[in-house]
Amino acid sequence: MPSRASNSPITQFQNCRILYKHKIIREDLWVRDGKILNPESLFFVEKGYADYKLDCNNCIISPGFIDAQINGAFGVDFSSDPDSLAEGLQRVSKKLLAHGVTSYCPTIITSSPETYRQILPQIRRTNGSHNGAGILGIHVEGPFISKDKPGAHPVDLIHDCSQPSGFQQFLEVYHSLDNVAILTLAPESCQSSDVVTRLTREGIVVSLGHSVANLPQAEDAVRNGASFITHLFNAMLPFHHRDPGIVGLLTSDQIPPGQTVFYGMIADGIHTNPAALRIAYRAHPKGIVLVTDAIAATGLPSGIHQLGSVTVQVDDDRAYVAGTQTLSGSIATMDSCVRHFKQATGCSTVQALEAASLHPAQLLKIDHIKGTLDYGTEADLVFLDDDLNVKRTYIGGKMVWESASIPTEQLTSRPYL
């Protein structure tokens, strides 16, 4: 009789609907050693069984959400106060679990070289656990962006890397790119053939944003490896029928075969009109990546807050650079963005959930381990009701957060061998 591949306990999630291969199906989910099991192999090869059965109360089970752009939250700003950054990361990582986020990319806005030298080495890739969501690497947004489209970024710290020393300037400013997963730049301010190619070769996702680039400049950056657009429509030239700019990448016929251009959308109902959200999604549904672009004020009352060196005024559900009408990130959470995206576009539940899980995993080239419920992937799970409210969050098959509105976890151990 074949022996089990592992002596670790197996949990069978029952009475659930799982997001599997672009469909929501009524099926059990099997987990061992933090990974999703193929039940056929378990039954017919190992002759195995479940050690525990869990009643999921008819919840939808989705892969954990991945936030590729978050500046901070819950009183923590990743771009300031390096001395308290470690504690701040722990706080945010823990609180994100309540919103279904199991991994994320802390985002650092345009800062001084001294600030980068202090902050970037502290933000290391970590696995998620009961202590909080995992960190997939840093998203550095700037300082190689356009002074004409700074958004909330401090203009005096923006750099121009159009001179021959382009890539060397990056190393001088950031000091090290070891912990960087995504880098936002304006393609017109950089030597795409050198800088974008070099960054891509280092395994860094190059994102186009805070830019006045025309469509040919954006297409050239994509040919050299750029694969993401930072918060589409925001901090870039508006769409024009004779030159659609970076927005035109969504329907460009110059994208290399086999390459997908992904684009971030802040689906908070404020940064992008629902009609524009529908236009982008219907033009390129497989590329949308929901991001929060959240700032320290997320989860806090209205008032004055910080975003790096920028002072932010929050009134109700909007955050502005103090004294202006310039939006400065959002105070949205990922689960609220998923719900708004579904409502605004009329997309299916599957499409809404994949925009926050599968697509960011594909962008970061980690969809073989995260972003799906395929066999062998990590069991980072979100339990949701039919209105897409988060009920439970699991990392590695272990519950790390639970809503008080549902019954306590019901585990049945193994009397059914």
- Read off the pLDDT of residues 2-39 as tens digits, 9 standing for 90 and up: 556 678 899 999 999 999 999 999 999 999 999 999 98
Name the binding residues for substrate: 152, 234-235, 242, 271, 327-329
Q: Cis before residue 143, ω within 30 degrees of 0? A: yes
**Strand partners for 348:** none
The whole-number pLDDT of residue 306 equals 80
Strand order in the sheet with 398-402: 23-26, 17-20, 60-63, 381-384, 390-395, 398-402
What pLDDT digit, counting tens, does each position of 135-171 carry? 999 999 999 999 999 988 999 999 876 665 678 889 9
User: Same domain for 180 and 38?
Assistant: no
Name the binding residues for Zn(2+): 141, 210, 231
54 within some domain = yes
356 within some domain = yes
User: Same domain for 325 and 247?
Assistant: yes
Q: Residue 45: which pLDDT band, with cuts at 50, 70 and 90?
A: confident
User: Same domain for 184 and 163?
Assistant: yes
The whole-number pLDDT of residue 1 equals 43
Q: Mapping DSSP to helix (H, G, I), strand (E, B) and coil, where does residue 215 land?
A: helix
379 within some domain = yes
Max Cα distance, the chain (Å): 74
The whole-number pLDDT of residue 28 equals 97
Rg (CA), the chain: 22
What pLDDT digit, counting tens, does each position of 273-325 carry? 999 999 999 999 999 999 999 999 999 888 888 888 888 898 878 888 888 88
Domain limits for position 387 = 10-62+372-413
5 within some domain = no
Which positions are catalytic?
293
Q: Mapping DSSP to helix (H, G, I), strand (E, B) and coil, where does residue 47 land?
A: coil
Cβ count near 168 (within 10 Å): 13
